[in-house]
Amino acid sequence: MQTLRARRAGPERQMRLSRGWARPARLLITVFGVADLLGTGILLLPVSRSDPEAASFIDALFTSTSALFVVGLTVVDTGAYWSPFGEVVILCLIQAGGLGIMTLASLLGTVVIRRFGLRMQLNVQTETRAPYVGEVRGIVGRITATSLACEAIVALILIPRMWLVHDIAAPTALYSGMFHAVSAFNNAGLSLYSDSMTRFADDPVILIPVAMATILGGLGFPVLLELRRHLTAPRRWTLHTKLTVHTTALLFVGGMVVVTALEWTNPATLGEMGWADKVLAGSFHGIMPRSGGFNVIDVGAMRDPTLLAVIMLMFVGGGSGGTAGGIKVATFAVIWLVVWAEIRGHPHVHAYGRRLSSSAIRQALSLTFLTMTVVVVVTVILLIITPFGMTSVLFEVVSASGVVGLSTGITADLPDSAQLFLVVLMFAGRIGPITFASALALRERTRRYDLAEARPIIG
């Protein structure tokens, strides 16, 4: 009888884990799905349009999805197409999406951690000291306070600069500064101006705060909280923070150098600028592909090597538990550490005095492969149903799946069917990695036996 109970315990426990995973996953999808439909419904109201005529369903749905999931792709001119009421709705969607994503990502982390055994919980809490092992109320409070504080600081810099230097009327500067501060920190990339931030291309007082807000929002809340506590003591940083900060710094520097160098002599982008403005604009565009979405030069006029580099940066994205998209920098770092260990012939993967678990490696590889598969499939479909070339379509698909918002300028010209594909991709690009990574962690179990080892021929 005791043996029979033991045999049943394994499947029953797995079923409980599966049901436990399904509940937060369904909650995440349902909450954002309902919020997206609500935002679409409000934008369909005539009061949301600058013209008396109501918006079309696809325009409202695409704009709502882009704002809620802090993507930044647009099919209409935000400042001209929508009324002030519609712009406020978009701003609220960005704020709700940014706060909601960070909060729910952290809460899912709580579910994941508490599904592990007591020993594992204690080990993880000791190693991470991250907010998702605390109380729910504390998580939400810290995320909200940190977000609002960062947005307020950026707005206080942008507002007087727009008013006093760029001759924007005080009420308009107040509204514009607040809108762009929220959009920047939440990595939305949505702008009230048809040329995004191009009019400020030579103003470092505008571009640097926007870039810094994008970086902070993209690092992820667990990293921000730890940096707030131990900014001057890197030795006390957790493995996740070290991987995220160091990899982010390398990608930012590499992106800034590559974009600036490749576009330095391009007359359609940086070529006609002075050297200081070239460095400023090129550096800004080296940061934005990580999920920012703003632009100060014509992305569609960039050279093909630059576009390929930007696509790669968009695919990686930003930090976990934040507003950035992509496969995340920690995932990217783990994959490269696996490659480096294999090149050196090491049986285990080490980083910063720690050995990476096999489950973390499998999850990183699985998430990356799944994302690549989705990108390839959707790219092939859009190449079939649209007249645009490979580079433009791939750029658009990676931008949507990585919730970046940069575009070569084809978004509004895509047919409705292609725009609907991008809507689904934006939804999946934001929700998918969070839920998929949580699912992999929650479904992990110890196997009571193993099979004989065999080795296929690799390469």
**What is the secondary structure of 286-333 as a DSSP string?**
HHGGGTT---SS-GGGS-HHHHHHHHHHHHH---TTSS--SS-HHHHH
Asked if residue 205 is part of any domain, the answer here is yes
Half-sphere exposure (CA, 13 Å, Cβ side) for 317? 32
In a domain, 339, yes or no: yes
Q: List the pLDDT tens digit at each of the 459 positions of the chain.
A: 444 444 444 445 444 444 444 455 666 777 788 889 999 999 999 999 988 888 899 999 999 999 998 888 999 999 889 999 999 999 999 988 887 765 655 555 555 544 444 444 444 443 333 444 445 556 667 777 888 899 999 999 999 999 999 999 999 999 999 999 999 998 888 899 988 899 999 999 999 999 999 988 888 777 887 887 787 788 888 888 899 999 999 999 999 999 999 999 999 999 989 999 999 999 999 888 877 789 999 999 999 999 999 999 999 988 877 777 788 898 999 999 999 998 988 888 888 888 888 888 888 888 888 889 889 999 999 999 999 999 999 999 999 988 888 999 899 999 999 999 999 888 888 776 656 555 555 555 556 766 776 767 666
Whether 88 maps to a domain, the answer reads yes
Q: Is residue 447 part of a domain?
A: no
Total count of domains within the chain: 1
404 falls within a domain? yes
Q: Report yes or no: 194 and 79 within 8 Å, Cβ to Cβ.
A: yes
> Contact at 8 Å (CB) between 351 and 243?
yes
Give the span between the Cα atoms of 146 and 102, in whole angstroms. 11
How far is the C-alpha of 78 from the C-alpha of 125, rounded, in Å? Answer: 44
In a domain, 277, yes or no: yes
Helix, strand or coil for residue 405?
coil
Q: What domain range includes position 238?
A: 2-442
In a domain, 275, yes or no: yes
What global pTM score does this model have? Answer: 0.83
In this structure, what token pair is assigned to residue 251? 């990608």
Q: How far is CA 448 from the centre of its chain?
A: 38
Asked whether residue 449 is domain-assigned, the answer is no
Residues 6+ away with beta carbon under 8 Å from 407: 73, 299, 300, 395, 396, 399
CA distance 350 to 152: 40
